[in-house]
Structure formats: structure tokens, C-alpha cells
Structure 1
Amino acid sequence: MYVPRPWTEDGQRCASAGIPADVGFATVPAPAAEMIAPHPGLRRPGALGGRRRGLRGNPTLRTELEQREVGYVLAVACDHRSPRSEERAAALVTEMPRRAWQRLSAGTGANGHRFYDRAVVYIADDRPGHNQVLVRRNRRTGELAFCRCYSSTAVPLSTLVGVVGRRWTVEETFQSGKGLTGLDEHQVRRWTSWHRWVTLAMLAHAFLAVATADALTGTHQTD
């Protein structure tokens, strides 16, 4: 739940809604970093927020993740510039040789695999790790999209593209939870009631996912 600044600055309003006193205002990148913090051993690249506006190329979040050696793939705008270069992300494409592009899919969608031309540009940086810009090109329209990537060890292009595809899995899970268990249909006015509703909706969705997986694999358990 997003609590806007006018709420967090009004203690009485928060108290009447049951919001804990220690809950303060936070921009989108802050809780993203907090969710990563309990997992210091995490090293695999992770798609954090995909194309959400608040996460796009956020330098504070990127720095914190790199300090923890947590790999990421974050969407950035075409005018994104690396810390060591004034060159825009879009300008990097003109320097790519034709052989740099590979036709890869980030996963299946409603109309089958999502095939795009993809390439990476390595960013010169004196910090540890591998910094890259991942470029996606629409084969029909030529439209470009960019992601800033980091990993503590070298990873292939196919791995970065696979991370991008996880965003769709997350979004499809949210849509499924809304459609099957009413994740977004809470009619509550208090913090505790909202948490109870969301927790039960997620639990019901998890049960349905497991039951479906069992049915598809033909494994049924009886008491």
C-alpha cells in the first residue's frame, strides 16, 4: 500500500486509520531496496520493478544494489547517461555492429514468444562488477528500449533477457490474483483490515496455483 506524504505528515489521520506510527513516507525505490536487504547472499540478476516510473534508472537504488553485489536489470530512458560518459543510451546504438544483435525472446505472451533484436553495450567503469546497457529493438518498427544492467560476475546476453522476462511473470501473477481471488477488491478503511485481506487473498491464490500444478502433473494427494 502506498501511503502519500499528506497522510504521513498527519499523525492523527494515520492513527485513525490504524497505520503504525513508525510508517513514514517513502518513494518507490526505498521499499525495493528494503526488500533486497534481508538477502545478503543474493547474487543473481533480478528484475526490480521493470518499467515502473519510480524505479527507472534510479541512481540511489542502483548504487545500493551494487554495493550489495546484487545484480539488476532496470529500465532507463533513451536519454540515460552512464556516470563515466556523457553519451546518451540512444546514441550507443549507432556504434553497434550488425553482428552485435541477436534475436531473442524474453518469454511467451498471449500471442506466443516475444522476439526482439537485442544487444548489450559494456560501460567503462572503475567500480567492481560488470555494467552494461541492454538494448531492445522492435524488428518491425525499429523502436528502441533500454535497460541498465549490473552483475558482480559476467553473465551472457541470454541471461539478461531472461531477467527482463520475469517482469511479465510478476505482472501476470498480480492480474491472476486480482481475477481469481479479489486481490484488489478490498473495501476496507483501516491498515490492519487491508493487511488481512491481502494476506488471505495471496494465500488463496497460492493454494490455487499449487492445486493447478498438481492437476496438470497428475499428482493428487488424499488424506
Structure 2
Amino acid sequence: MVERARSARVPFTWVTANSAYGQDRKLRTALEYRGKGRVMAVPCDETVHAGPLGPLRVDALAERLILRFERRSCGDGAKGERFYDWALAEVSWPSPAGSPRRCWSHLLLVRRSISDPSEVAYFVVHVRTCTTLPTRVKIAGLRWAVEDCFETAKSDCGLDQHEVRKWEPWHRHVAMA
């Protein structure tokens, strides 16, 4: 994905993604080598290095730390602003890229639901140290707009009907649509 964007000369500063891409360590390493920021969801069993605590799952780390949550909106949703409680923890993500570059940091961003505090999500973050929490939260929220567009396209264009699992049927379907 990074190579395609680079070869197409698509300028970008940030990458945000769901946990399917967030747990892809090769992608995360490629972004670090190129000095690109990221806020990517990761599953609760993703491993992180937390200084003297050593390697831990992100959910276990979040339970052990005293996190200072701030209520922030991550953008507009179907029902208005999407507010959650957000917290940051400094960590080290295992990577062949090694330690973060100078003026960059590795962080764990934790999102907690206001209505159900047991509903928690985790994000792997690699950002410049001067990046504010509101910016990190905004980047995390941008992926919903992309997912909404995909859902709309699937239903409006019939892409949710299994006829587009391979290139040839997809090409026929799009030509007809």
C-alpha cells in the first residue's frame, strides 16, 4: 500500500486504518521508514513493550496503567459528534525500524465508550512529538468516513452481493452499473 501510494506520487502525511491493517507490522514498519504518521486500530491481543513492565497485550497494559482520559470528539457521525474518552500511554511497538526517529514517539491510544466504559478500543500511534491529542483523535476518527463510503458504495452499487470477489465478475458488474 505504501509503495503504491509512493509510485503514484500521492502525497500523504498520515495513515489511519482498522485493526486488519493496524496489526500488519510490515506496513507499520514501512510507514516508519518513510517518516509517515499513523493512528491505526489494533486488536486487544496486540503486543506492546511498556518499559519496565516488559511486553504485554494492549488490553493488559491499559488495565495496569493509570490512564488520564479526556473527552473528545473524533468527528461527525450519523447522529452528530462522536464523543469518546481518550487516553495516551508511551510505549514501544516491536519493529524492525527500531526506536522512533528523533522528535517522533510511539504511543498507545485508548478509546473508551462514554455510555459503556467496558467498550474499549486500542490504536497504535507513531507521530511527531508535537502532535496534539485532538489531532490524534481526529485522525483516528477519519477511518469511519472511509468505511461509511465503502458501505454506501456496496449497497448503492450492489457490491455487497458477492458477485465481485474476483476481477472478471467485478469488471462486468462495474461496466453494467
Q: TM-score range by the shorter chain?
A: 0.7 to 0.9
The one-letter amino acid paired with 2:156 is L
Q: 2:48 is paired with a residue of what secondary structure?
A: coil
Question: Higher relative contact order by CA 8 Å / sep ≥ 6: 1 or 2?
Answer: 2
| Separation of aligned partners in 1, 2:8 and 2:36 | 9
Residue 95 of structure 1: which of 34, 42, 65 is its match? 65
RMSD of aligned residue pairs (Cα, Å): 3.0
Q: Quick one: structure 1 residues 194 and 127, their matched pair in 2 at CA, closer, same or farther if it must change by over 3 Å?
A: same
Q: Percent identity?
A: 33
2:132 match: 156
2:153 match: 177
Tell me which protein shows more helix as a share of its residues: 1
1:141 match: 116
Q: CA deviation at 1:148?
A: 0.4
Q: CA deviation at 1:59?
A: 1.4
Question: Is 1:62 matched with 2:62?
Answer: no
TM-score (norm: length of structure 2): 0.74
Q: Give the gaps of 5 or more residues in structure 1.
A: 1-31, 202-223
Greater alpha carbon shift after TM alignment, 83-92 vs 147-156: 83-92
Tell me which protein shows more strand as a share of its residues: 2
Q: Specify the structure having the higher radius of gyration (Cα).
A: 1
Question: Is 1:106 matched with 2:79?
Answer: no
Q: Give the gaps of 5 or more residues in structure 2.
A: 93-97
Question: Is 1:126 matched with 2:122?
Answer: no
TM-score (norm: length of structure 1): 0.61
| Separation of aligned partners in 1, 2:42 and 2:165 | 36
Q: Number of aligned pairs?
A: 165
**Residues 168-209 of structure 1: CA deviation (Å, up to 9, x unaligned):** 1111111222333334458579735623644785xxxxxxxx
